[in-house]
Amino acid sequence: MSMKLLKKFFAFFTLISLLGVFIPANGKIFAAWAEPVRAKNAMVASQHELASKIGADIMKRGGNAVDAAIAVGLALAVVYPEAGNIGGGGFMLIRFKDGRTTSIDYREMAPKAANRDIFIGKDGKVISGEGGSTVGYRASGVPGTPAGFDYAFKKYGSGKLKWSELVAPARKLAQDGYVLSYRLAELFKAYKNNLEKYADSKKIFLNGGKYYAEGDLFKQPELAQTLSRIEQQGATEFYTGKTAQLIAADMKANNGLITLEDLKNYKPKERVPLKGNYRGHEVITMPPPSSGGLVMLQVLEMLEPYDIKKMTYNSAEKYHVLAEALRRSFADRAEFMADPDFAEVPVNKLLDADYLSARGKTIDLKKASSSRDIGHGKIIGNEPMDTTHYTVVDAEGNVVSNTYTINDLYGSAVTAKGTGVLLNDEMDDFAARPGTPNLFGLIQGERNKVEGGKRPLSSMTPTIVMQKDGKPWFAVGARGGPRIITAVLQTVINMIDHDMNIQQAMDAPRIHHQWFPDEIRAEPYGMSPDTQRILESMGHKFGNVGYNASATGIEIDEKGVRLGAIDSRSDGLAFGY
């Protein structure tokens, strides 16, 4: 070997060592990515290490994925208070080892006293701040989490563990406390303006106004007592026992809407999951009142004719087509999607291949559309009627993809007196006034107006994707308002079109477009100035730069190994055995 060639050889490998890259067997060079956590038998991926470990322990003791999902959800109510909850609600998507699928809708419900104009002031304008749909006692819907978990346990639990065994770990965490991270201690302070308005929230999360610091032991004795009652008496205690009485009394004393009757009448609902297909892979996801699954399946169908793989994952060409498909689907979301128990949601027609082909053909590959010109599609005829996600796969192959929420971080900021339960602000997910943007800038239609007993439209998108041979491949979901939908969607695209593993697929840069505001939201360092200039030359506008949600998921590789992943945009830990 000549000296000149030898120098080039050493220079090449020096560059590789500096950049942190490796050369796989196929000869391609990739930048180094964080690797997913590996486990042979079972895996939990959640937003907190303690919750993930609790779920894994439940499965070690004989519980299945559903048992573990319940224990994880209860634990997150303690260690991830800004989004984990028993004072909110959500959706649990399940695929069983024998191929059956189901979904449990435990979304919050509007109190009986709620009506279409409940958040319209005397001046005819939407009420903002306290007393409106985002902050304070009137912002909360009837929580569904305890009832949903109870339903899942009784119908789909392993039968090997008692209910009390699933609640006890969370109760102990609340009782004994856990060490606060820097992130959580600072997050309490960041939301002090809302939390300090309510006595129990100020006492619990702001240390009575003295604030917490990184490394402090954080205990929640009132929440521990509530969990103890639920542990001993079952989930119905939350709706008919002392906890219910405390919530209802605090609501009554503060002009809230939730009554004892509302709590007593809450019921979760089992629904048939939506199923679509993208490039030969079955995609299983949540039906309405979640809009996420419908929007995602619509976009995937519109993208099917395009060679996304050839475009490469971060090209202007790919981002243009993606933004245009999202624009059209979010327009349909605003017009057609709502609680199917209260409004006709034409699911089959919205997913019809011919309908979506026609919508897709309106995309100009060289020019951006205007959202003012792109409305919802034409449906002819009638047909029958700041969130956290975690994923669980057990040793037998049962898969649970669960997303639940209290809406904004710390929900309504109200902690029901004497319960330690932080309540949601899910009333903002209704259309306070149809056509007026909500907290997340989403425009919603008449179908999603406020009505007593109704479940608000959601962006939660728990999803399970199958291999072409019919075996489970990966399960994923996200947190982040409407950006949940685009986070899950782009994770699916990255896995199928761009051959990424679950960690790479979630960590890769993303964009977001939701029809209105008519703009692309890109991420810091996620798009080159050249790419942005090309998109702007096509007519696209760019909004504020910000991270587009955070995802959590598990992949099952060809050998059956469970690969757990937490989005680098967030904290948490995947844990398995």
Catalytically active residues are 387
What tokens were used for 279? 């490039």
What order of strands is seen across the sheet that includes strand 269-271? Answer: 269-271, 101-106, 89-95, 399-405, 388-393, 43-46, 573-576
SS3 state of residue 89: strand
Phi, psi of 479 (to 5 degrees): -120, 150
Cα–Cα distance, 460 to 278 (Å, whole number): 20
Strands 89-95 and 399-405: antiparallel
Helix axis angle for 65-79 and 49-60, nearest 10°, is: 150
**Contact (CB, 8 A) for 266 and 148:** no
Residue 258 CA: distances (Å) to CA of 251, 253, 265, 410, 452: 6, 11, 11, 18, 11
**Contact (CB, 8 A) for 268 and 104:** yes
Who's near 109: CB < 8 A, 6+ residues apart? 141, 142, 144, 262, 266, 453, 454, 455
Measured at the alpha carbon of residue 54, what is the angle toward residues 212 and 394, in degrees to the nearest 5? Answer: 145
Helix axis angle for 242-253 and 221-233, nearest 10°, is: 130
SS3 state of residue 160: coil
